[in-house]
């Protein structure tokens, strides 16, 4: 018997809004101003974050464009103190190996102005850690595998949207990438089809927090227009 290929269904795109040019520019300027306030924070207050806020931000991340609509991501939200402690212990073990053995002098020199090091107390003090996993393939109920497409690109876009959503909600964030991160699968009991992509630390910054004195590249440095 020949299997019937089901045609994809389509719906009217009723969510799109077109604005006059001056309104478009105003909106573009507003989002730039909003996002330019965002800074990576390394000192967090212990105050808890409402779960409903995190849930809503995760829903925003889940709207990200992705390969073949496979949505190859999974977010594990960790607020339990014991889990955060275990994550910190293993992350710092990998970080010490990085700073003492793996990193080149050039890499360490590049990190020096940012004041980073192997100690990561924020992994315990921050109220919320979001472990982001990339699903290399799906596991069907019958045990077979279904390949996912453009996984890194898709999860990267979703992560960026999550960071923007958390910032807009009034939370500070820090992207943490200990390497390797396989210990997250064990601690958080994630399946083998998932690989840790990034650990996103989020919460409220302490009142006297400081951030590195850095600048962002200009539009001329980051963009080329061919007209």
Between CA 30 and CA 51 the distance in angstroms is 27
Q: CA of 34: how far to CAs of 69, 157, 186, 225, in Å?
A: 29, 18, 37, 24
CA dihedral 81, 87, 93, 99 (to 10 degrees): -100
pTM of the model: 0.93
pLDDT of 70-126, one tens digit each? 999 999 999 999 999 999 999 999 999 989 988 899 989 999 888 889 999 999 999
Q: Is residue 3 part of a domain?
A: no
Between CA 187 and CA 84 the distance in angstroms is 10
pLDDT of 157-214, one tens digit each? 999 999 999 999 999 999 999 888 999 999 999 999 999 999 999 999 999 999 999 9
Q: Is residue 182 part of a domain?
A: yes
Q: Is residue 23 part of a domain?
A: no
Q: Is residue 49 part of a domain?
A: yes
Q: Is residue 122 part of a domain?
A: yes
Q: Is residue 6 part of a domain?
A: no
Sheet architecture: strand order including 73-78: 73-78, 128-135, 194-203, 172-176
Between CA 9 and CA 140 the distance in angstroms is 22
What residue numbers bound the domain in which 113 lies? 43-205
Q: Is residue 227 part of a domain?
A: no
Q: How many domains does the chain have?
A: 1
Contact 142, 214 (CB under 8 A): no
Q: Which CATH number goes with the domain that contains 168?
A: 3.40.109.10
Write the burial class of residue 97 (CB in 10 Å: 0-12 exposed, 13-18 middle, 19+ buried): middle
Contact 129, 199 (CB under 8 A): yes
Q: Is residue 214 part of a domain?
A: no
């Amino acid at each position: 018997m020949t299997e019937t290929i089901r045609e994809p269904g389509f719906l009217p795109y009723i969510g799109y809004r077109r604005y006059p040019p001056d309104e478009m520019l105003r909106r573009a300027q507003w989002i730039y101003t909003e996002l330019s306030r965002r800074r990576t924070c390394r000192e967090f207050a212990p105050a808890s974050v409402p779960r409903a806020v995190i849930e809503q931000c995760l829903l925003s991340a889940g709207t990200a464009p992705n390969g073949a609509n496979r949505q190859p991501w999974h977010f594990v939200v960790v607020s339990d103190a014991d889990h955060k402690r275990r994550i910190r212990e293993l992350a710092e073990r990998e970080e010490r190996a990085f700073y003492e053995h793996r990193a080149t002098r050039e890499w360490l020199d590049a990190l020096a102005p940012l004041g980073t090091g192997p100690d990561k107390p924020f992994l315990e003090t921050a109220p919320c850690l979001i472990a982001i996993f990339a699903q290399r393939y799906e596991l069907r109920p019958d045990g077979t595998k279904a390949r996912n497409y453009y996984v890194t690109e898709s999860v990267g876009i979703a992560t960026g949207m999550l960071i923007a959503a958390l910032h807009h909600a009034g939370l500070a964030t820090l992207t943490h990438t200990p390497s390797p991160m396989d210990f997250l699968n064990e601690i958080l009991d994630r399946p083998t089809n998932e690989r840790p992509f990034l650990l996103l630390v989020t919460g409220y910054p302490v009142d006297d927090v400081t951030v590195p004195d850095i600048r962002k590249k200009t539009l001329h440095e980051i963009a080329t227009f061919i007209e």
